[in-house]
């Protein structure tokens, strides 16, 4: 049917011109139609690996990788991963990937968002003071491990991000434990992390995809980088997200 319509277009145009010899002047004052949103394009790399923008993921191992640079600020941090327009001065890692692409990769790999930390939207589409009911069965499927790899002195280095952070007060390393994929929401038609520029936080979230649920997550000055476990400022690293293996009960945010 569509093919037939396309074939009729030239004839319809000719008929219109014959009936209306005077040219129709377009109304330049009329607002241009809104551009349709661009859907992320998934490209297959090999039998198991796929890529969305700067995010590469494996459908079998459920591993996700994307590039970032080490910020390594000396002062306490509130975020783990951000974009340039996010809270970069308070984050360990800086990346240029799209949060939408990362969210899609997590979803395609069957990670289940545990959204109880994101307020429900009110009738106007803005955050309210009501939060979704926590569903304990979602937590194991929302638990992820985050690590990073980099090359230093000709050797590949690998550390979990927990090993690179320490408590400001006593210098203790962040305990081994999962991070949580919490998903996010749309406000005024925009995916919140795209606007905020913040992807993962070590504090209570509100505009991020990922948060740390362990002890100290509710303090703004709890964590700082552990310099001896990190490469120099500006070093390029690969951030690696994997399913968290030790599905222990998580403290409630």
- Structure-token pair, residue 136: 């304990």
Residue 213 CB coordination number (10 Å)? 21
* Closest CA relative to residue 66, chosen from 186, 222, 215, 210: 210
* pLDDT tens per residue, range 10-57: 443 343 334 444 444 444 444 545 555 556 689 999 999 999 999 999
Which helix (H) or strand (E) is 200 found in, with range?
A: strand 198-201
- Structure-token pair, residue 70: 């080490």
**pTM to 2 decimal places:** 0.74
Which pLDDT score, from 0 to 100, does residue 37 have?
55
Report whether pLDDT(102) > 80.
yes
Average pLDDT on 107-114 reads 90
Report whether pLDDT(9) > 70.
no
pLDDT band at 192 (very low <50, low <70, confident <90, very high): confident
CB 173 within 8 A of CB 226: yes
Report whether pLDDT(113) > 50.
yes
More confident site: 140 or 76: 76
* pLDDT tens per residue, range 46-89: 999 999 999 999 999 999 999 999 987 777 888 999 999 999 88
């Amino acid at each position: 049917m569509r093919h037939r319509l396309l074939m009729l277009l030239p004839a319809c145009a000719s008929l219109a011109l014959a009936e209306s010899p005077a040219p129709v002047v377009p109304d330049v004052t009329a607002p241009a139609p809104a551009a349709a949103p661009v859907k992320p394009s998934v490209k297959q790399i090999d039998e198991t690996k796929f890529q969305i923008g700067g995010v590469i993921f494996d459908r079998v191992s459920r591993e996700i990788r994307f590039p970032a640079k080490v910020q390594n600020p000396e002062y306490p941090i509130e975020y783990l991963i951000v974009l340039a327009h996010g809270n970069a001065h308070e984050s360990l890692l800086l990346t240029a990937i799209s949060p939408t692409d990362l969210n899609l990769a997590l979803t395609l790999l069957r990670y289940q968002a545990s959204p109880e930390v994101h307020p429900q939207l009110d009738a106007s589409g803005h955050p309210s003071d009501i939060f979704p009911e926590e569903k304990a069965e979602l937590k194991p499927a929302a638990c992820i491990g985050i690590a990073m790899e980099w090359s230093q002195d000709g050797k590949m280095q690998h550390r979990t991000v927990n090993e690179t952070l320490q408590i400001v007060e006593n210098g203790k390393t962040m305990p081994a434990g999962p991070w949580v994929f919490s998903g996010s929401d749309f406000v005024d038609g925009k995916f919140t992390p795209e606007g905020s520029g913040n992807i993962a936080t070590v504090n209570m979230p509100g505009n991020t995809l990922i948060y740390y649920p362990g002890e100290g997550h509710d303090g703004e000055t709890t964590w700082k980088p552990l310099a001896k476990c990190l490469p120099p400022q500006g070093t390029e690293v690969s951030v690696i997200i994997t399913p968290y293996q030790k599905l222990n009960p998580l403290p409630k945010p």
